[in-house]
Each structure stands twice: as structure tokens, then as C-alpha cells.
Amino acid sequence: MSSTHTYSKKSQSLTKNQRIVLDLLQNSGEPLKAYFILDSLKKEGLNSPLQVYRALDKLVELGKIHKIESINSFIICNNSNCASNTAFTICERCGKVKEIKNKYLTDGVSDLVKDNQLEITRYNLEFYVLCKSCKIN
């Protein structure tokens, strides 16, 4: 028999602010900066940096987005279940960022580090590259 409740738990769903920030990042697909997000969502009712940062913090915690530390930007997560371990390439010339999905890579890194007798709780890998189109032109 199913629950008599017809509504889902609050903890399963995002709040309005979290939702609109996530949607923006989702639609963009690119890394966005906090204050850009703020400007973009002024019309949705976001008025202060803190509202943005709180939403971003929560979304990072949930693994729905990632922070790219070296450019102070946030990007939608392309994978599933990578709340703690992330890897990106960033083109040095055009700035394009991609999340590295290759399981071989991330597993391999984990193994290498484990061999080094470290207890890893999470990691963030940022590879600066020359992307294909920038390599050509």
C-alpha cells in the first residue's frame, strides 16, 4: 500500500532560488560566474549575492553543479554521482570548459593516489588544454 501523502518531501525538491539558478546553468551549459548569475536572474527576483551563493552552495553539495576553482565559475554537472570527484579541461585559448567523463581517467587517478597511501575524500582536477578547434586555428 502506498503512502497517503500525495506530495513529495521538501528535501527531494529544490527551492525556488535553487531551481532558477540550476535552470540557468543547465540552459547555459557553460561555466558561469556568481555575479553573472545574479545579473541574469534579477528579473526572477534575485537581489543579492548571498541568494546566489546560497543556492550555488546547495547545488554543489547536491552534486548538481560543480565549481571550477581556477576560474571562480560554476557549471552544470554532466555526469551522475560525481558530487565529490570532478575533472575538467579548460582551453587556454578560448576558455571552453568540459567535464571529463572518462571513467578510466578518474578511476585511474583514484588508484594512483590510493597507491600513494592517501585517504581521499574528494578531488578536483583541472587540466589546461588546447582544444581541437583552437589547435587547428
Please give the residue ranges that form the binding site for DNA (CB under 7 A): 5, 7-10, 13, 15-18, 33-35, 45-51, 53-55, 57-58, 72
> Which residues within the stretch 64-123 sit at the binding site for a copy of itself (CB under 8 A)?
69-70, 89, 92, 100, 102, 104-105, 108-109, 112-113, 115-116, 118-123
Residue 66's nearest CA partner among 54, 79, 75 is 75
- Nearer to DNA among residue 48 and residue 102 (C-beta): 48
Q: How far apart are CA 133 and CA 130, in angstroms?
A: 8
Given a contact cutoff of 8 angstroms between Cβ atoms, the answer to whether 62 and 41 are in contact is no
The binder of 114, among a copy of itself, DNA, none, by C-beta within 5 to 8 A per type, is none
Classify the phi-psi angles of 35: left when phi > 0, otherwise alpha if psi is within -120 to 50, otherwise beta.
alpha
- Nearer to DNA among residue 45 and residue 108 (C-beta): 45
Q: What is the CA radius of gyration of the chain?
A: 18
Shortest gap between Cβ of 27 and a copy of itself (angstroms)? 26
The binder of 16, among a copy of itself, DNA, none, by C-beta within 5 to 8 A per type, is DNA
Amino acid at 129: V
Size of the site for a copy of itself (CB under 8 A): 28
The count of other CB atoms within 10 Å of the CB of residue 95 is 13
Q: How far apart are CA 89 and CA 107, in angstroms?
A: 16
Which residues of this chain interact with a copy of itself, rule CB under 8 A? 69-70, 89, 92, 100, 102, 104-105, 108-109, 112-113, 115-116, 118-130, 135
